[in-house]
Amino acid sequence: MAPSADRIVIENVAIATVDAEDTEYASGHIVVKGNKIESIGAGKAPEGLENVVRRVDGTGHLATPGLVNTHHHFYQWITRGLATDHNLFNWLVALYPTWARIDEQMTYAAAQGSLGMMARGGVTTAMDHHYVFPRGSGDLSGSIIRAASEMGVRFTLARGSMDRSEKDGGLPPDFAVETLEGALAATEETVKKHHDASFDAMTQVAVAPCSPFSVSTELMKQGAELARRLGVRLHTHGSETVEEEKFCHELFGMGPTDYFESTGWLGDDVWMAHCVHMNDSDIAAFARTGTGVAHCPSSNARLAAGIARVPDMLKSGVPVGLGVDGTASNESGELHTELRNALLINRLGAHREAALNARQALRLGTYGGAQVLGRATQIGSLEAGKLADLVLWKIDGIGHASIADPVTAIVFGAAAPVTLSLVNGRPVVENGRLLHADEDAIARSTREEAQRLARIAAES
Ligand SMILES: [Zn+2]
């Protein structure tokens, strides 16, 4: 199919490009041709453009790159609001027995809920780290990818796995895990079936064993080899809590970062969620190898995990993106509010007022996310030739109009309404509503599936 020559012209809009120089325009234009940005700059769009199918007056709006989510567990949408006063390990042990009962219908509904909530809030690239595959539960990966494709967002599925259960000193119950061979074979099959390596790919797949305390050393090692053989990225959880650090020392005789290094898990094709408990040499190892971090400030607060050293990571050159994390540990399920939370929570850490500024927070949620997903040449900033994934935030309403600086308004202020978001040049949200999914139907189905899962879990 030839690329579309249709153009969308956006004018009179404030623009934060998040390019390498942080170029901004107080009033500018963006011309989208097909699925790419054709031109961007100050003032009006060039005259005489052909095939213009839509003109958007962006007065009262800020245009930014679409937000990129780098860590999530969609299935948790139907187990929100449970184990609300627990730390990570107690929370996991409380929830694993319920999670191990999910099926394809539940997973699909939960994916719709997770994706819908994020898309409404300006996310144009989503990711799901899915690692619970109960026997006989159907095609869970396929159902998640279908939900993302129907919603119209760009998507990375991190095909997770667990093979270290209670009998091997792990945290998950024995019936909730896969075998080493089964997990590797299913992961390879998922990559071969769904991963698209092209520039404008809408679906990519990463290899993603869950965490050191739920995965065997052999699965970590062979998972890394598999990903490199297939040319896809690697994702897992790392250094989330002090309990995890203790677990690694007891079981492996070393801390999490050394363990990752020993299993082939540091590299510029790897990104890890959390990385809260990192010392200077851990951060240096991430910087030296180009290993990326998915910073999840709300989830870290919810589970009392601690504050990741994001300012030190950025100073050392570690790529850092933002993550919602699963919504059983971040019930809001929103990413645009994480811009603000990242900024505020890091100021509670060691760096105080200089920890992060508004533009750094916006960069984490856009370009930083594109970097850790391995897509920085394609998305994450507004530049001619990149894919047209962008958001128009309404900043002339009651929540923002009295703040002069547009970037300060959307980061420090209330969550800004999304008037329009484009993914791959195609509108996905208009005036705060999803265009390709029925929000009321999703609300109903997610409630029904949450109740059905609770019933099944209670009976077993
Ligand atoms: Zn997680």
Instruction: Assign residue 255 the CATH number of its domain.
Output: 3.20.20.140
Residue 459 within any structural domain of the chain = no
| CA–centroid distance, residue 416 to ligand 1 (Å) | 26
Both 37 and 140 in one domain: the answer is: no
| CA–centroid distance, residue 182 to ligand 1 (Å) | 22
| CA–centroid distance, residue 284 to ligand 1 (Å) | 23
Both 181 and 200 in one domain: the answer is: yes
Instruction: Assign residue 56 the CATH number of its domain.
Output: 2.30.40.10
Both 158 and 25 in one domain: the answer is: no
Run of H or E residues at 24: strand 24-33
| CA–centroid distance, residue 238 to ligand 1 (Å) | 9
pTM of the entire structure? Answer: 0.97
Both 107 and 219 in one domain: the answer is: yes
Both 58 and 71 in one domain: the answer is: no
Residue 270 within any structural domain of the chain = yes
Count of domains forming the chain: 2
Residue 415 within any structural domain of the chain = yes
Residue 453 within any structural domain of the chain = no
| CA–centroid distance, residue 181 to ligand 1 (Å) | 23
| H helices present in 88-139, as ranges | 88-99, 104-120
| CA–centroid distance, residue 80 to ligand 1 (Å) | 14
Query: Strands across the sheet with 320-322, in order?
Result: 67-68, 123-130, 154-161, 203-209, 234-238, 270-274, 292-295, 320-322
Residue 457 within any structural domain of the chain = no
Both 201 and 282 in one domain: the answer is: yes
Both 147 and 172 in one domain: the answer is: yes
| CA–centroid distance, residue 325 to ligand 1 (Å) | 5
* Burial of 19 from C-beta contacts in 10 A (0-12 / 13-18 / 19+): middle
| CA–centroid distance, residue 214 to ligand 1 (Å) | 13
Residue 448 within any structural domain of the chain = no
Both 407 and 357 in one domain: the answer is: no
Residue 220 within any structural domain of the chain = yes
Report the distance separating Cα 275 and Cα 306, nearest Å. 10
* Structural domain of 260: 67-372
Residue 274 within any structural domain of the chain = yes
- Provide the residue-wise pLDDT of the chain in tens; the chain has 460 residues: 567 889 999 999 999 999 999 999 999 999 999 999 999 999 999 999 999 999 999 999 999 999 999 999 999 999 999 999 999 889 998 999 999 999 999 999 999 999 999 999 999 999 999 999 998 899 999 999 999 999 999 999 999 999 999 999 888 888 889 999 999 999 999 999 999 999 999 999 999 999 998 999 999 999 999 999 999 999 999 999 998 899 999 999 999 999 999 999 999 999 999 999 999 999 999 999 999 999 999 999 999 999 999 999 999 999 999 999 999 999 999 999 999 999 999 999 887 888 999 999 999 999 999 999 999 999 999 999 999 999 999 999 999 999 999 999 999 999 999 999 999 999 999 999 999 999 999 999 999 999 999 999 999 8
Both 246 and 346 in one domain: the answer is: yes
Both 17 and 71 in one domain: the answer is: no
Both 392 and 366 in one domain: the answer is: no
Neighbour count for residue 217 (Cβ, 10 Å): 14
Both 306 and 240 in one domain: the answer is: yes
| Residues in CB range of 188: below 8 A, 6 or more apart | 226, 230
| CA–centroid distance, residue 386 to ligand 1 (Å) | 29
